[in-house]
Amino acid sequence: MPKKVFELAKELDIGPLDLVESLKAKGFAVRNHMAELSDADVTSYLASVKKDEEASSDTASKKKVVRKKAPAAAAKTVEKKTVERKAAAPAEEADEEKKTTKKASTVKKKATVIRRKTDENTDEESDTMYADSDESEETQVHAATEVEADEEENFVAQPAEDESVTEPTPAVSEEVAASAPASTGGLRVVSKAPVKKETPNEAGVITRKAADKEAIKEAIKEEKKLSTIDRPHRFTPVYTPSKDPMFKENQAKEEAARVAKAEALKAAQPKQFTGTPAEQEDERKRGEEEENKKRMGGLASMMTGKKAIASKAQAITMSRAEEELKSYTALSGTGRPIYTQILRKKDYVGPTQQTERTEVKDSKRVVHIHKGVVLGDLAHKLSVKFKDLLDECLKLNLLIKETDYVGPKLAADICALFNYRVEDKAFNEEKIIGKAAVSEDEKSKFPVRPPVVAIMGHVDHGKTTLLDTIRKDKVASGEAGGITQHIGAYSVKVEGDKTITFLDTPGHAAFGAMRQRGAHATDIVVLVVAADDGVMPQTKESIRFCENAGVPIIIAVNKMDKPGVNPDKVKQELTEFNLLPEDWGGTTQYVHVSALKSMGIDELLEAILLQAEILDLRADEKGPVEGVVIESKIEQGRGPMATILVQSGTLNKGDYLVVGETYGRARSLNDHLGVQLVSAGPSTPVQILGLEDAPAPGDRINIVKSEREAKKIAENRLNERKLLQAAPEKKKVSLEDFFSNAAKEGEEQKLLNLIIRSDVQGSYEAIKSAVESLGNSEVAVKVVAGGVGPITDSDVQMAATANGFLIGFNMRPVTSARKLAEDKGVDIKNYSIIYELINDVKLALEGLLDPEFVEEFIGRAEVREVFNIPKAGVIAGSYVIDGKIAQGCGIRLLRNGKIMHDGKLSSLKRFKDDVKEVKNGYECGISLEGFTNINAGDIFEAYLMVQKKRTLDDAAGMSQSGSKETRANL
Ligand SMILES: Nc1nc2c(ncn2[C@@H]2O[C@H](COP(=O)(O)OP(=O)(O)OP(=O)(O)O)[C@@H](O)[C@H]2O)c(=O)[nH]1
């Protein structure tokens, strides 16, 4: 069974490294203690050891070791001594030797080179047996090289020895390692000894031809050379002897034990061959020959440089060595790689030829942009330096930066300066959506659709009550604060088959933006005006929105049930706005109603249907779907939910939608009553589920073929908006603007940071725009985050970081957010009525305004006589002629109307006593802080600086009313 070296070492009870050394010395190709030995190797090695031991014991018993100088070495190496066994040994000794050799096996002889280190430092010498003394000299040069060389030498020498395989080698000096410790106490086994020394003239000795010897020498030298050039450097573990005498003794003991064990092992070895002793002998010889052949093969390959690569690591090392060699040869004698190019200094050959400037063809003077462009990029597209672009832009009064993003219009203006035109190559979503222009003629053939009606009017004029009465449903009672908070859309059946779609729009000023959207989405507006209140600000505002949207108005004069109301007064007021009643010769329909008493409702509905008829409202049910978002919110557990008014086409359940910057699939369609629909035709308000996000009110909806297309369009819209938002608003700069901006630069605007969470998108937007419009140059509201949904931990975290406030509109914080807010000391305010929210924000903003100090006159005194009192200083004996003079007040000294001094009162006395104040008609002594030039006849004017809390109206300079004053100095 094959064995690892360390296993054999264990069996032999010797150190694995020692065994490796020993094996190497005996010509076994082992790399380390992990190398594997075949059975034949083990047997061969043990036999060899045995033979050595016997030889050593013979030598020791006969004590005929003769120290003899090698003929060649004698001349060159004096220090080295070669111990040889005399060739002319007695005959019986020779016989004995012959026997031993045969018994041990006819394997080639291996001598062991043993270097002995003596304890004396000065007299260090080594007894080494060398085949060649030249070799011994070389081995002294470098230990590692020596070992290597010795090994090589050994391997090379073997074939020569094999020639004498059957012959004993009396000329070969042997020294058994085991005997060495006893004599030297510090022997170091470096490697196996090379070859025997040749003594050609002696009888019975197998001689080696001189030519062969020379050839081998040459081979050894060649090998050595190679080993220094292309062989990787490797270290051979070298045993360093201890100088401790005890150690030497132990070594000797260990060695003796090892020998004994090897002998025992040999004795225990099973006999492998059967048959006659002659047959056994033949078999053994054959085995040995095979073994030798194997080794010879290895040696031959080594000699020819085709040494078998033992391991991967060795292969890597070899390849590295090869590379190194190559790079070495790639270096010229200067140490510079031969492929390095020498840089030559260029000779000056005069000015370079100027390339002629070619004018760009008109057809090529086009700049392609995608909706907008960053000016740095535009300069690049125009092939001009940005500096030149900046100079040219000043002609347009434009002060630009390289990072500015401009829209197509401004880009076109800039490009025109360089005789370029702009082509917008923006993502064309219409190509995907496939909008087809419909002619008026085609439109007239479409079926009639229900009118979409919005109800507008001033707060509390009865909009919700009116709608409620119309659709017989109580809406107002369920609303917080009795105010409609967001747009609701409802379809109402009237006159049998006919349907009217109502948009219930809120009336409060904060919902202006929403109302505007409502106006644009509607065909007809019913303007509710309370007969008892008349035209109010938001009535006027609603009229303006309708005018802008070109939407016809029907006036519902409400609360006609109230006693003493005068509808003509309302009509009169509205004539100012070109809303002349029909009975007064105009075109506007006026209907007298009482929403509360359900009076005049039918007339109103008739008027709406009449108006719709006049408008001839038609839509293609089968055409592409168009619609608008009325409202949206995120419902817990259901996700984003949007109220959509389909304006044309038919929206089907399962359609892929693009809605503003979001997209999705209409997973479910519900009408205002919550009834599931399969499809929704023109003028039908539906709530849809299945969008990715809550869209903004007013967003348009389109249907596309796939979700991928929908996503693409939505993402493109989002990207473009972001780019435009990032772009600073470009205004034409005037010198006045520049100076006013420069003056403002020093002032720092105080910010009130808010995080707003609302139940629906419309409310959020309305609140956001309302609170943001509250600021001025000194203070401003910044909505740092917000949207639809409950107040979460991250909102609280953000409020804490931004030092802001959290506002929930119809939204409460989640439990964890509430706890976190308590921990972080963040204030969460909850509102359900928008004007209360706005008032609070306004008050908070006012708190940020710097207080104002105003001077308040309090009295006047006339100086009658001036006293110069040594310790007290100058005292002006005065008489209070107006108001009072008080301690701590500011005081001005006037002489002939001219202000001589303005400072603080130092002391105020009545006779010798200090007093707090002296009123009109009394005398007093007044002294001033740091001023003594007081004359009789001068006037003291006393005043107080009063701190005045400012309101936003004050700050805007609109109104001084409502300011609260506090006396700062008293
Ligand atoms: N007497 C009388 N009261 C009415 C009539 N219509 C509405 N009201 C009352 O007016 C108040 C306001 O009505 P709303 O319908 O909430 O008014 P609104 O215009 O919808 O108010 P906002 O939602 O705040 O814009 C309520 O107290 C109603 O009862 C009416 O025809 N006659």
Distance CA 148, CA 142 (A): 10
Distance CA 556, CA 594 (A): 9
Task: Looking at the CA of residue 599, tell me the nearest atom of ligand 1.
Answer: 31
Give me ligand 1 centre to Cα 591, in Å: 17
Give me ligand 1 centre to Cα 829, in Å: 28
> Is the pLDDT score of 879 beyond 90?
yes
Distance CA 59, CA 56 (A): 5
Distance CA 895, CA 898 (A): 5
Task: Looking at the CA of residue 459, tell me the nearest atom of ligand 1.
Answer: 25
**Atom 13 (ligand 1): residue with closest C-alpha?**
462
Binding residues for GTP: 457-464, 504-508, 558-561
Q: Which two tokens stand for residue 901?
A: 């001094």
Q: Which of 307-311, 312-316, 832-836 has the lowest mean pLDDT?
A: 307-311
* pLDDT given at position 725: 63
Q: What average pLDDT score do residues 154-161 get?
A: 40
Residue 592: which H helix or E strand, with range?
Answer: strand 589-592
Task: Looking at the CA of residue 479, tell me the nearest atom of ligand 1.
Answer: 23
Give me ligand 1 centre to Cα 463, in Å: 6
Band (pLDDT 50/70/90 cuts) for residue 727 is: low
pLDDT digit string, tens, across residues 785-835: 888 888 888 888 888 877 888 899 888 888 888 888 888 788 888 888 888
Band (pLDDT 50/70/90 cuts) for residue 292 is: low
Of the residues 460, 541, 592, 834, which should be mutated to test ligand 1's pocket, given the most ligand atoms within 8 Å of the CB?
460
Q: How many CA atoms lie within 13 A of 454 on its CB side?
A: 28
Q: Which two tokens stand for residue 408?
A: 């197509």
DSSP string, 481-529: GG---S-EEEEEEETTTEEEEEEE---SGGGHHHHHHHHHH-SEEEEEE
Q: What average pLDDT score do residues 249-278 get?
A: 66
Task: Judge residue 600's burial from the number of C-beta atoms within 10 Å of its C-beta, 0-12 exposed, 13-18 middle, 19 or more buried.
Answer: buried
- Identify the top-confidence range among 152-161, 207-216, 733-742, 783-792: 783-792
Distance CA 178, CA 271 (A): 27
* Beta strands 366-369; 421-424: pairing state: parallel
Residues flanking ligand 1, CB < 6 Å: 457, 459-465, 476, 482-484, 506-507, 558-559, 561-562, 594-596
| DSSP structural state of residue 308 | P
* pLDDT given at position 61: 56
> Is the pLDDT score of 771 beyond 60?
yes
* pLDDT given at position 171: 39
Burial 268-277 (b: 16+ CB within 10 A, else e): eeeeeeeeee
pTM of the model: 0.44
* pLDDT given at position 66: 43
Band (pLDDT 50/70/90 cuts) for residue 331 is: low
The side-by-side arrangement of strands in the sheet containing 488-494 is 488-494, 498-504, 452-457, 524-530, 553-558, 589-592
Of the residues 538, 558, 594, 596, which should be mutated to test ligand 1's pocket, given the most ligand atoms within 8 Å of the CB?
596
Cβ 15 vs Cβ 22: under 8 Å: no
Query: How far from 828 is each of 234, 608, 785, 813, 836, CA to CA, in Å?
Result: 77, 45, 14, 8, 15
pLDDT digit string, tens, across residues 511-544: 455 555 544 678 888 999 999 988 988 888 788 7
- Identify the top-confidence range among 238-242, 328-332, 917-921: 917-921
DSSP string, 435-456: -----HHHHHHSPB---EEEEE
> Is the pLDDT score of 375 beyond 60?
yes
Backbone region of residue 457 per phi and psi (left: phi > 0; alpha: psi in -120 to 50; beta: other values): left
* pLDDT given at position 18: 85
* pLDDT given at position 235: 47
> Is the pLDDT score of 863 beyond 90?
yes
Distance CA 291, CA 294 (A): 5
**Atom 32 (ligand 1): residue with closest C-alpha?**
559
> Is the pLDDT score of 413 beyond 70?
yes
* pLDDT given at position 445: 81
Distance CA 923, CA 881 (A): 9
Hey, is 842 helix, strand or coil? helix
Between residues 319 and 715, the one the model is more confident about: 715
Phi, psi of 425 (to 5 degrees): -105, 35
Give me ligand 1 centre to Cα 462, in Å: 3
**Atom 22 (ligand 1): residue with closest C-alpha?**
483
Give me ligand 1 centre to Cα 465, in Å: 5
Q: Provide the residue type at 527 as one letter.
A: L
What percent of the chain is modeled with pLDDT above 70? Answer: 63
Between residues 155 and 451, the one the model is more confident about: 451
Hey, is 121 helix, strand or coil? coil
Cβ 849 vs Cβ 880: under 8 Å: no
Taking residue 965's Cβ as centre, other Cβ atoms within 10 Å add up to 13
Binding residues: 457-464, 504-508, 558-561
Q: What average pLDDT score do residues 312-321 get?
A: 75
pLDDT digit string, tens, across residues 55-100: 877 665 554 444 444 444 444 444 444 444 444 444 444 444 444 4
> Comparing C-alpha atoms, which of 261, 72, 100 is closest to residue 168?
100
Interface pTM, i.e. ipTM: 0.98
Between residues 357 and 287, the one the model is more confident about: 287
Distance CA 29, CA 172 (A): 23
> Is the pLDDT score of 782 beyond 80?
yes
> Is the pLDDT score of 103 beyond 80?
no
pLDDT digit string, tens, across residues 7-61: 888 888 888 888 888 888 888 888 888 888 888 888 888 888 888 888 877 665 5
| DSSP structural state of residue 957 | T
Mean pLDDT of the chain: 72
Band (pLDDT 50/70/90 cuts) for residue 862 is: very high
pLDDT digit string, tens, across residues 240-263: 555 555 656 676 777 777 777 777
> Comparing C-alpha atoms, which of 569, 570, 519, 573 is closest to residue 544?
519
pLDDT digit string, tens, across residues 580-636: 888 888 889 999 999 988 888 889 988 999 999 999 888 888 888 888 888 888 877
Residue 139: which H helix or E strand, with range?
Answer: helix 133-141
At CA 415, angle to CA 413 and CA 418, rounded to 5?
Answer: 120
* pLDDT given at position 120: 40
* pLDDT given at position 287: 74
Query: 3-state DSSP helix/strand/coil percent for the chain, to nearest 5?
Result: 40, 25, 35
Q: What average pLDDT score do residues 138-167 get?
A: 40
Task: Judge residue 643's burial from the number of C-beta atoms within 10 Å of its C-beta, 0-12 exposed, 13-18 middle, 19 or more buried.
Answer: buried
Task: Judge residue 180's burial from the number of C-beta atoms within 10 Å of its C-beta, 0-12 exposed, 13-18 middle, 19 or more buried.
Answer: buried
Q: Provide the residue type at 944 as one letter.
A: L
Give me ligand 1 centre to Cα 460, in Å: 5
DSSP string, 80-93: -B-EEE-SS--HHH
